[in-house]
Homo-oligomer: A and B are copies of this chain.
């Protein structure tokens, strides 16, 4: 880091997101007065993350992605954490923060991993030089992945299979819409080709993370933003659970009471 950068580091901050002046705020080059009046909230999210407004088709797809992440009831650990924290009387923002801390690599980590996987495979094809990718190339990529994960490593392919669903209804609908809207890009092709193989051989299907990882990759999102998009989609559901918890519960929640806790240490 140059001395000059270093000084900036101490006392000031560079940003390309918004410019704040007295009585005027410009975000990604647009006056916020116009954004408030004219654009859909999902397009605003796209603008903030990508630095440009989406096309009509991109905007439709991105809206589907955000809606599909909204809520999975009280089953996820993050939602249970939100309710546990909220029931202690902590403020709403602290309960949302607690929920976010539950997004470790075992929970909600699949989106980023799957985006990296799809993008690295498709990028390697791109490098082979031919203008567009034919289905044979995609099919052989899928076979390679199947052999790499299932046959050699005997592990799961991220983005496939779900604890509660055989056919994740969100993934199924998302793929239906992408096809219907004629937006099947190379990453989505790859996801569908993997699903064909996994479904034939092991009755395993695409899940919501795998479907959205493909769509977000076709939309040109950096894998580092995969968890970010998931968080944006899920936070409203988490807040609904926190509000419900604070209305319903008059004492703090303990998911295990003393009888459910087995002590296996010394002095039993």
Whole-angstrom CA separation of A241 from B225 in the bound complex: 11
Is A97 an interface residue when CB atoms closer than 8 A count as contact?
A: yes
Q: How many residues of A contact B (CB 8 A)?
A: 129
Q: Which of B20, B101, B265 contacts A75 (CB 8 A)?
A: B20
Q: Which of A126-134, A136-144, A151-159, A246-254 interfaces with chain B?
A: A246-254
Tell me the A1-15 residues at the B interface (CB within 8 Å).
1, 8-15
Cβ–Cβ contact B102 & A240, under 8 A = no
**Interface-facing stretch out of A61-69, A117-125, A192-200:** A61-69
One digit per residue, 1 when the CB lies within 8 angstroms of any chain B CB and 0 when it does not, for chain A 6-41 equals 001111111111111011111111111101110111
Residue of B whose beta carbon sits closest to that of A166: B23
| 11 A-B residue pairings within 8 Å (CB atoms) | A13-B260, A14-B264, A15-B263, A19-B267, A22-B165, A23-B165, A30-B267, A88-B107, A101-B101, A222-B243, A232-B239
Q: Which residues from chain A sit less than 8 Å from chain B, CB to CB? A: 1, 8-20, 22-33, 35-37, 39-42, 44-45, 48-49, 51, 63-64, 66-68, 70-78, 80-81, 83-98, 100-109, 164-170, 172-174, 177, 222, 224-225, 227-228, 231-233, 235-237, 239-244, 246, 248-258, 260-268
Which A-B residue pairs are the 7 nearest by beta carbons? A255-B255, A89-B104, A29-B266, A16-B265, A88-B104, A90-B104, A97-B97
